[in-house]
Amino acid sequence: MLEDKNQSRTSLEELGEFGLIEHLTKNFSIQHKTTVLGIGDDAAIVDFKEGQTVITTDLLIEGVHFDLSYMPLKHLGYKAVMVNLSDVYAMNAAASQITVSIAVSNRFPVEALEELYEGIHAACKNYKVDLIGGDTTSSNVGLVISITALGEASPETIVKRSGANENDLLVVSGDLGGAYMGLQVLEREKEVFKANPNNQPELEQYSYIVERQLKPEARQDITAILKELNVVPTAMIDISDGLSSEILHLCKASNLGCQLFEDKIPLDPQVINVCEEFNIDSTTIALSGGEDYELLFTIKQEDYPKIKANPSVSVIGHMTHEREGKHLITRADTKIPIIARGWNSLSNGG
């Protein structure tokens, strides 16, 4: 995928580390007053005069978190930023700055990294965040990307995982399972291509779920909607590892149980259709799939009238006393304990 005979290749050593950073970041501009000094010195300077700062970091490794045989580098750059911004929005904070560090093997020319940074640049532009620093180094395991995101929030609006209360409503943004099913389609097409390289992948009918996998969007809009509706969630988390895992994180942090209703879990029709095609249960995928980067949060019952007409969010259950346990109420009205079956990067085989 990386080699194109018609395209010129500039080796990384031609530019050197500092030349490479300067080359890749020359089109980034500063958008926040809080960014006093960005790239070009020993450290960046950020001045948050008011409020609190939130900081989050994620690491993406080739072969563990992404496969370059179907993940375009531009999309990868964009997604790597989204993964981090999603964590900032899950604190009900506004994202403002990122740092980007990459470790890269010499099989990548400068042109490949330009594509990666095009995606990072698009993400910064769309979400109005500043790139203020980072690092580059060599790697013997392919491509590694580490991004740190900073954001700011006032102490009274910042939201942690631990603030939920008994009888709070459990709410989720968007729909679930799309990213995982998009991955299944891409993996299948990869195998078809390996068997017959003349076969072009047919992805048009899967466009929504493939985009959910290759180019997710962090839900900055949800924090804006909640602010507009004058709703401050009591607890919040982003859905990176599957709904079941994230619900259990909220329950554990808040010392509560919960009831999740199967028939309330939002699923896109394309997800339902493709689950049928792959003979997989769509509820299982929503619970365990991961990488949707939607927001899962709890609100007080009295705030329900403010959100009930909003199509961007769905009430999917409620919090209970810890002794009542954590259960999925199925369509057949049976109670099943919720078990974390989300994606685990530390499990055997990734």
**Residue 168 is part of which domain span?**
161-337
Question: In degrees to the nearest 10, what's the CA dihedral of 43, 46, 47, 53?
Answer: -120
C-alpha 77: how far from its chain's center? 12
Residues in the chain: 350
Amino acid at 139: S
164 with 234: CB under 8 angstroms? yes
In this structure, is residue 213 part of a structural domain?
yes
Extract the tokens encoding 71. 């993940």
Q: Are residues 35 and 137 in the same domain?
A: yes
Output the CA torsion 85→113→215→217 (10° steps): 20
On whether both 145 and 178 belong to a single domain, the answer is no
Segments in the chain forming alpha helices (H): 12-25, 73-89, 110-127, 178-195, 207-214, 220-228, 243-254, 269-277, 282-288, 304-307
Domain membership of residue 348 (yes or no) is no
| C-alpha dist (Å) from residue 92 to 11, 18, 115, 216 | 42, 35, 31, 19
Q: Residue 3 is encoded by which pair of tokens?
A: 């080699």
Three-state SS at 192: helix
Same domain, 62 and 167: no
* CA 276, chain centre distance (Å): 26
CATH of the domain at 121: 3.30.1330.10
Same domain, 202 and 285: yes
Domain final residue pick, 135, 153, 171:
153
Angle, alpha carbons 37-40-42 (nearest 5°):
85
Q: Is residue 221 part of a domain?
A: yes
Q: What is the CA radius of gyration of the chain?
A: 21
184 shares a domain with 148: no
Distance CA 153, CA 94 (A): 6
Say if residue 207 is in the same domain as residue 323: yes
Q: 170 and 275: one domain?
A: yes
66 and 90 fall within a common domain: yes
Would 1 be classed as within a structural domain?
Answer: no
- The pLDDT, as a whole number, for residue 162 is 93
Phi/psi-derived region of residue 256, left when phi > 0, alpha when psi is between -120 and 50, beta in every other case: beta
pLDDT recorded at residue 192? 85
Task: For residues 142 and 23, state if they share a domain.
Answer: yes
Q: Are the C-beta atoms of 109 and 3 separated by less than 8 Å?
A: no
Q: What HEC string does 15-64 produce?
A: HHHHHHHHHHHCCCCCCCCCEEECECECCCEECCCCCEEEEEEEEEEECC
- Residue 343 within any structural domain of the chain: no
* 237 plus 117 within the same structural domain: no
Residue 39 and residue 117 in one domain: yes
**Is there a domain that residue 149 lies in?**
yes
Per the structure block, which two tokens stand in for 166? 């008994």
Q: Within a domain: residue 237?
A: yes
Q: How far apart are the C-alpha atoms of 228 and 145, rounded to whole Å?
A: 35
Q: What is the pLDDT along the chain (350 residues), one digit of tens a residue?
A: 444 444 677 766 665 555 666 666 667 666 767 656 555 555 456 677 777 888 888 989 999 899 999 999 999 999 999 999 999 999 999 999 999 999 998 889 989 999 999 999 999 999 999 998 888 888 888 899 999 999 988 888 989 999 999 999 999 999 999 999 999 999 999 988 888 887 777 788 999 999 999 999 999 999 999 999 999 999 999 999 899 999 999 999 999 999 999 999 999 999 999 999 999 999 999 999 999 999 999 999 999 999 999 999 999 999 999 999 999 999 999 999 999 765 454 454 44
Domain boundary pick from 118, 153, 188: 153
SS3 296: strand
Q: Last residue of a domain, which of 101, 119, 153?
A: 153
The reported pLDDT for the residue numbered 17 is: 56
Residue 212 is part of a domain; what is its CATH number?
A: 3.90.650.10
Q: φ and ψ at 63, to 5 degrees?
A: 90, -15
Q: Which of 203, 239, 216, 208 is nearest to 75 (CA)?
A: 216
Residue 3 lies in a domain: no
Q: Are residues 84 and 185 in the same domain?
A: no
In this structure, are residues 164 and 298 in contact, taking their beta carbons and an 8 Å threshold? yes
In total, how many domains does the chain have? 2
